């Protein structure tokens, strides 16, 4: 039993080591009514054009909302806004090590915002 646990621990350590250091610096892309990319991918791109962002806006004179936007290396620009509480929560969790995927409808309203934060988006 003791050796089984030791062997399982060793196998887990070896399998974890094979994935250590994995990175995925997504460049900014706009396809149809979607945009996606990672903050580090935009920052480390070869061009000085790309960006991707989301911001939480909360003025005392209006309802809170989020705005997300992106610009590709080719200069295409899109943005969307949302008052959805789930979108607002997702945006508040963003950091320098985040990936954002957004989708909007014909009126420019974000109808889907996906965010992910992890070591794979780190410099």
Query: pLDDT for 96-122, tens place per residue?
Result: 889 999 999 999 999 999 998 877 776
pLDDT grade, residue 20 (50/70/90)? low
Q: Would residue 110 count as lying in a domain?
A: yes
Percentage with pLDDT > 70 across the chain:
80
Q: Would residue 4 count as lying in a domain?
A: no
Q: Would residue 94 count as lying in a domain?
A: yes
Q: Would residue 14 count as lying in a domain?
A: no
Q: Is the pLDDT of residue 25 over 50?
A: yes
Q: What is the pLDDT of residue 51?
A: 96
Q: Would residue 6 count as lying in a domain?
A: no
**Exposed / middle / buried, residue 85 (Cβ in 10 Å: 0-12, 13-18, 19+):** exposed
Domain, as residue range, for 70: 24-121
Count the domains in the chain.
Answer: 1
Report helix, strand or coil for 95: coil
Q: Would residue 102 count as lying in a domain?
A: yes
Q: Would residue 11 count as lying in a domain?
A: no
Q: Would residue 39 count as lying in a domain?
A: yes
What global pTM score does this model have?
0.78
């Amino acid at each position: 039993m003791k050796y089984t646990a030791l062997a399982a621990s060793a196998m887990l350590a070896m399998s974890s080591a094979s994935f250590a250091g994995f990175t995925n610096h997504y460049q900014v892309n706009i396809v149809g009514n979607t945009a996606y990319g990672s903050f580090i991918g935009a920052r480390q791109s070869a061009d000085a054009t790309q960006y991707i962002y989301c911001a939480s806006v909360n003025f005392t004179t209006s309802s809170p909302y989020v705005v997300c936007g992106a610009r590709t290396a080719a200069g295409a620009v899109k943005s969307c806004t949302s008052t959805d509480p789930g979108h607002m929560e997702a945006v508040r969790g963003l950091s320098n090590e985040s990936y954002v995927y957004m989708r909007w409808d014909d009126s420019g309203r974000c109808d889907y915002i996906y965010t992910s934060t992890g070591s794979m988006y780190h410099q």
